[in-house]
Amino acid sequence: DGGITQSPKYLFRKEGQNVTLSCEQNLNHDAMYWYRQDPGQGLRLIYYSQIVNDFQKGDIAEGYSVSREKKESFPLTVTSAQKNPTAFYLCASSISRTGYEQFFGPGTRLTVL
């Protein structure tokens, strides 16, 4: 089955630690995205990548980092610099940046203890 996967589903982190969230897709999509969702809020774009080895900051990139070494993978690192990291993180992919729907993964809920 083609799709987009995220792991883990739940993640707990101590304050001051970096943590990396995994996102993999086998849809052969060029574009990939990371969003943050807080309760009662819409999706806010953290980073996006239109092609391998290239990525751009979204609206709330501070405290996050990404890499795009392979077309299928777009991991997100939440660093200790992120002041309020507890949230639901969603990864998505699309055929290209514009004009096509985004397919979302199941999400990772990160809780900072």
Partner 1 sequence: GESVGLHLPTLSVQEGDNSIINCAYSNSASDYFIWYKQESGKGPQFIIDIRSNMDKRQGQRVTVLLNKTVKHLSLQIAATQPGDSAVYFCAENWGRDDKIIFGKGTRLHILP
Task: Assign 3-class secondary structure to the chain.
Answer: CCCEEEECCEEEECCCCCEEEEEEECCCCCEEEEEEECCCCCEEEEEEEEECCEEEECCCCCCEEECCCECCECCEEECCCCCCCCEEEEEEEECCCCCCCCEECCCEEEEEC
CB closer to partner 1, 35 vs 64: 35
Neighbour-count burial of 70, counting CB atoms closer than 10 A to its CB (0-12 exposed, 13-18 middle, 19+ buried): exposed
CB of 16 to partner 1, least distance (A): 27
Q: Does 99 bind partner 1 (CB under 8 A)?
A: yes
CB closer to partner 1, 16 vs 42: 42
CB closer to partner 1, 13 vs 109: 109
Stretch that binds partner 1, among 14-22, 60-68, 69-77, 92-100 (CB under 8 A): 92-100
Among 93, 102, 110, 112, binds partner 1 (CB under 8 A): 102
Among 40, 83, 84, 113, binds partner 1 (CB under 8 A): 40
Stretch that binds partner 1, among 12-20, 60-68, 78-86, 104-112 (CB under 8 A): 104-112
Q: Does 41 bind partner 1 (CB under 8 A)?
A: yes
Find where tokens 């707990």 sit: 12
